[in-house]
Amino acid sequence: MKTTLAACAAVLCALPFAGLPAFYETFLYLLLHAIVLATSWNVLSGYSGYFSFGHGAFFGVGVYTTAALAGQRGWHFLWTLPLAALAATLLGVALGAVVFRVRALRGELFALLTLAITFVLSTIALNTVDGGPGIQVMVDIPKIAPTPSGALYLLMLTAAALTLWTAYAMYHSRFGTGLFAIRDDEDVAEVMGVPTYRFKLAAFAISCALAGLAGGIHAVFVSYVTVAETFSIALAVNVVLMAALGGTRHWLGPAVGAVVITVLLYAFTSGEAAVAGRALSGLILIIVIVAMPEGILGQLLKRFRKAPPKRAPLAPSRAAPRSRQEASGELLLEVRGVAKAFKGVQALAGVDLEVRRGEILGLVGPNGSGKSTLINVVSGHYAAEGGSIRFEGKELVGLPAHRIARAGIARTYQIPRPFPQLTVLQNVALPPMFGQVVMHRARAEEEAWRWLEFTHLGDKAHRYPGELNLHQRKFLELARALASRPKLLFLDEVLSGLTPAEMDAALRLIRAIRDQGATIVFVEHVMRAVMELTDRVVVLTFGKAIAHGVPAEVMRRPDVVQAYLGTAHA
């Protein structure tokens, strides 16, 4: 594998010295140019799901930086390339710093925003740097190859190698895993410990830098830049088309798509044929979107995927890493006067709550009493509007959700929210990679296997969550929450919707979790389970905690009975 790669690289580097007609160098240059643009688009848009229609804008910033500095001011061309990348990066970071803070700006809204950015930048470029007629970029091309076209080819080859390496490294890193989780469910990713804002910003910066670099080289290649040609929507859409065609969920997918589209467009360049070529690329786009949502490469990988390695079950001793901690009485979580309102509905009206290390605390209350909202506030999904939440003495209010996860708090969702496009194993391996102790993928998967065995999902490890039934998905939620080895675990109605037999299995599991020493806040309507499992209960109604104490006593109190069943009239 390594030697093949080295041989390919050597052949590609030696090409300009073989004395081929310039046509080949130019064609290969365009091919590499397409690969750089499609792949650099993909590291933000494909990986994180933020589809950008503004890639042309960042490419354009690179083109105009080099055109202005090298073409107008006479700077040395090579020096302008890092600046072209830098200018595009700065712009992307400035934009991302604003845009990624707005929670609702996802999907098609982000796409339209980036489209609008393209128009704004092209208007600014037209009225300032360019001035209308375009810029001539006649510069000395460094003599690294016998011909100028050969030299530009080598420069773009370097850029392509850099881009593909970046995409590959990201894909296989913790960073890439986090981005893919963002693509599937950003809110859950954040709660699982992924620093979503920082990751998106970093991916955007990398994407822009590579596009800017390609733009800088391309300014010299075209030698005459105009706003209409540079900031074209066609470029932005072609990039999306290439990536979607090849497959956005793989690092190499966009490059495959870029090759196919470039060869295709090249086959239809002259006059009449160009029109047919455009129609054909439109048709391909439609067919790919409706028939091959995973792209050519995605489809191929699916077909020829090797059977995943089977794993021997782990020794049971390894599944019980900690011995049961006795309830120590030490304060772990202290909630004081926490409030949260939704458009005037006071979901939490000053809740006070204490969780002690090693206990199972039952959190009960009628529907709409604020139990799930409390979990959402403590885990950082909603910001508290007053009060304080202290975990091991540290204030949590105001911290982003991923910091709270890293502090050692995990949760399950009442309606399971697995990452749909990650396998069961990848789902469970995600939190350990972003938990209290940051783990590499291999270690995290090791950990994930342990919890899959623990929840009896071992044989489903390579399936996708969509193939599981409800009780398996609930167990997947449990495994995912446990995998980060939380100090405090919120279980949000894990038993609801299960059959009595499945419920027994779940209860056995929760008991096993308790025996390993986790502190658990157990939100549940099934009273049998509450009475059986919890050390203490807190009753919530209308966003306030009205009672707490030993389950058997609390549940007999008249105000608690009234909260559940209403006032007695007999």
Partner 1 sequence: MPSATLLGQSVLSGIFIGSLYGLLGLGLSLSWGMLRQVNLAHFALAFLGGYVTYQLAAVAQVDPFVTLAITVPAFFALGMALHWFLGRFSVTLLNTLLVTFGLTSIIEAGIQWFWTADFHRMESAYAAARWKLGPLFFSLPDLITLGFALALSLGMWGVLRFTDMGKAIRATTEDAPIAAAFGVNEKLLGYLVSGVAAAVAAVAGLCLALSHTLAPVQIYAWMGVVFAAVMMGGLGSPIGPLVAGIVIGVSEAVTMAVTAPTWAPLVSFSLLIGLLLFRPARF
The residues of the shown chain that bind partner 1, judged by CB under 8 A, are: 51, 98-99, 102-105, 107-109, 111-113, 115-117, 119-120, 122-124, 126-127, 132, 233, 237, 240-241, 244, 272, 275-276, 278-279, 281-286, 289-291
> What separation in angstroms does the CA of 65 have from each of 199, 219, 225, 332?
27, 9, 11, 55
CA distance 201 to 207: 10
Nearest to 418 by CA among 360, 469, 369: 469
- As measured in angstroms, the least distance from the Cβ of 181 to partner 1 is 18
- As measured in angstroms, the least distance from the Cβ of 126 to partner 1 is 6
- As measured in angstroms, the least distance from the Cβ of 366 to partner 1 is 25
CA distance 178 to 181: 5
Element (H, E) at 115: helix 107-125
Q: Which is nearer to partner 1, 193 or 246 (CB)?
A: 246
- As measured in angstroms, the least distance from the Cβ of 139 to partner 1 is 27
Q: Which is nearer to partner 1, 115 or 161 (CB)?
A: 115
In the DSSP assignment, the letter for residue 460 is: G
Instruction: State the number of CA atoms in the 13 A half-sphere of 495 facing the CB.
Output: 20
Q: Which is nearer to partner 1, 51 or 199 (CB)?
A: 51
Q: Which is nearer to partner 1, 127 or 499 (CB)?
A: 127
Nearest to 45 by CA among 108, 2, 138: 108
- As measured in angstroms, the least distance from the Cβ of 215 to partner 1 is 21
Burial pattern 442-481, b for ≥16 Cβ within 10 A else e, equals eebbbbbbbbbbbbebbebbebbbeebeebbbbbbbbbbb
- As measured in angstroms, the least distance from the Cβ of 130 to partner 1 is 10
Q: Which is nearer to partner 1, 285 or 529 (CB)?
A: 285
Q: Which is nearer to partner 1, 126 or 470 (CB)?
A: 126
Q: Which is nearer to partner 1, 54 or 458 (CB)?
A: 54
Beta bridge partners of residue 185, listed in sequence order:
none
- As measured in angstroms, the least distance from the Cβ of 65 to partner 1 is 20
Contacts of 369 (CB under 8 A, 6+ apart): 540, 541, 542, 543, 563
Pairing mode, strands 536-541 and 360-364: parallel
C-alpha 335: how far from its chain's center?
A: 31
- As measured in angstroms, the least distance from the Cβ of 363 to partner 1 is 30
Q: Which is nearer to partner 1, 45 or 541 (CB)?
A: 45
What type of residue sits at position 427? N
